[in-house]
Structure 1
Amino acid sequence: MKKKEGIWFYFFISPWLTGFLGLTIGPILFSIYMSFTDWDMFLSPHFIGFANYATLLTDDPVFWKSVGNTFYYALIAVPLGMCISLWIAYYLNKKLKGITFFRVLYYLPSVVPVVASSLLFIQLFAPTEGLINQALSFIGIQGPQWLLDAQWVKLSLVIMSLWGVGGGVVLLLAGMKGIPPELYEASSIDGASSGQSFFNITFPMLTPVIFFNLVTGIIGALQTFAQVFIVTAGGPDNASQMVVPYLFQNAFQFYKMGYASAIAWILFIIILALTLIVFRSSALWVHYEEGKENG
């Protein structure tokens, strides 16, 4: 009976197992091999050892500039987006008439396709006809060139990232709904102010959700592609170039697939290292309810 059940088990999971091995594990192993080759996708791969990695790390200023731009973007966009998400969620958690409408309103931008939102922001950031600079001109401020200025283009991408904070807001709202109301009642009896209740009850109880948003935010920010590819194409003068668009450029424009694979694995190592650091530090600031362990 056990042998028969085992056969049926493997029979039913075989479609997933085949897809996993063929479409996930297979390409991963092949990309590792490609990173050690010189391959243009037309001729046979030529094994060159660690030459791609040596070039990337010692003789490719554009790669290091893209890494710097990516870290700049992540260091600003992720904390800023999390703070704004928490602030919005705090007020959307109030029991007010019509609050459901505002919850939907703040979430809708996060489901808009990234291509559509990118095209929208191209119009908003236009130097003369853009609504942002027109609004600034009404109060006597001459707006910058935004996407055409190397000093402002990365900040423009950060502003664009705030368009999708609604996803984080929904998770934080769900976390707030799970906080026992007895805690707030006890703090009110003790005479705690709303600010004290937030920092001593709400924020600690939300740290698991904040931890999740932080990890996914870091991974997403380091893999930013569509906004850069559509809005700036890495310009001006590589001022907005990031790692994944640079990877795509090498793979499908310069046909340097081996070099692009090396970029992908370096990015993987960076993301893995940062994720491990965040996980290790979580024991210091993430609060779990009694009976739940920090994974």
Structure 2
Amino acid sequence: MQKKHQALWGYLFISPQFLGLLCFSLLPLLYAFYLSFVNWDGFGVPVFVGLDNFRDQLADPDFWKALMNTVYYMVLVIPAGIVLALLVAIMLNKVKGKEIYRLFFFMPVVTSSVSVGVIWMWILNGEFGILNYLLRAIGITGPMWLTDTQWVIPSIALLSIWLGLGYNMVIFLAGLQGISKSYYEAAEIDGASKFQQLRYITLPLLSPTTFFVTIMMVISSFQVFDQAFVMTNGGPAKASYTLVYHIYDQAFIDFTMGESAAAAMILFAIILVFTLLQFKMQKRWVHYGD
């Protein structure tokens, strides 16, 4: 009887989260899956078309353009974001008053991505932005960051690295603080250098944290939208046209809800495959336990 009573209270406490997950994640996902098989403009009666929406997406040059832009963005953001966050976490790990520094680094994470994008539009303005002003002060002519097709994705990646630095740094810092000091003390007795301690102690014991950060960055990179929408509107010449922007464009500009849902399902499948591959490959480099 007591176990049933405890189980009842357990279900009661998890019910708000479960209902939120059901209403705002699972049901929309199932509805999007249904929409991917119909032709619907958002107003009329949906017409079942089978796999036509998926075939149309795979034959659409805009879809492949968006995919290539997204992959390019990922290549720029993920390695740089992980390395920079790890370096900052290592530097802060032994600093007095790390809580204050952690607060300042984390502040951009809780700031609206739209407002951050607007501010960075001014910073990256090619004509009177502060970044090009500083570059001109040292004799360098800066590019037209947001209007040059070659620089627009790196510009958005730069913003994203800065925006996610605080979150990733906090995760790495928590992982570093979970590593026992006895390992480093033993290494110092054996004469290991700081670099050797980093290579043979810190990085292996931090690999589960690195794996988590990598998974989260892959997912968030595939879902990049706010920065491109606010700063460039997908331009110039669709050079910053990402997959989620393509889904938005299909749904709310062209009103082809079925094709938009099909693109969303393809994106879901890509993220799922990438995640499963990372879980498969983690056995080679992720070390759990002591």
Match of 1:189 in 2: 189
Q: Deviation digits for residues 195-251 of structure 1, max 9, x if unmatched?
A: 111111111111111000000000000000111111111100100000001101111
Match of 1:173 in 2: 173
SS of equivalent residue, structure 2 residue 146: helix
Alpha-carbon shift at residue 23 of structure 1 (Å): 4.2
CA distance in 2, matches of 1:281, 1:107: 30
Match of 1:275 in 2: 275
- Say yes or no: does 1:90 pair with 2:69: no
SS of equivalent residue, structure 1 residue 238: coil
SS of equivalent residue, structure 1 residue 43: coil
Match of 2:285 in 1: 285
Contact 1:110 1:163 in 2 (8 A): no
Q: Deviation digits for residues 81-121 of structure 1, max 9, x if unmatched?
A: 0000001111011244x444323222222222111110111
The amino acid that maps onto 2:198 is F
Contact 1:251 1:257 in 2 (8 A): yes
Pairwise mapping of residues 99-118 of structure 1 onto structure 2 (< 5 A)?
Answer: 99-118=98-117
* Range with greater deviation from structure 2 (13-22 or 262-271): 13-22
Pairwise mapping of residues 220-259 of structure 1 onto structure 2 (< 5 A)?
Answer: 220-259=220-259
CA distance in 1, matches of 2:233, 2:56: 23
CA distance in 2, matches of 1:268, 1:140: 46
- Change beyond 3 A, Cα 1:137–1:37: same
Match of 2:210 in 1: 210
Percent same amino acid at aligned positions?
Answer: 39
Match of 1:150 in 2: 149
The amino acid that maps onto 2:193 is S
CA distance in 2, matches of 1:207, 1:7: 36
Count of matched residue pairs: 288
Q: Deviation digits for residues 37-65 of structure 1, max 9, x if unmatched?
A: 1101110101111111111112x111100
Q: Gaps spanning 5+ residues in structure 1: where?
A: 291-295
Match of 1:31 in 2: 32
CA distance in 2, matches of 1:177, 1:6: 34
- Change beyond 3 A, Cα 1:129–1:288: same
SS of equivalent residue, structure 2 residue 155: helix
Match of 2:56 in 1: 55
TM-score by length of 2: 0.93
Match of 2:140 in 1: 141
- Change beyond 3 A, Cα 1:24–1:109: closer
TM-score by length of 1: 0.91
**How big is the alpha-carbon RMSD for the aligned residues of Structure 1 and Structure 2?**
2.2
Contact 1:38 1:48 in 2 (8 A): yes
The amino acid that maps onto 1:184 is Y
- Say yes or no: does 1:129 pair with 2:128: yes
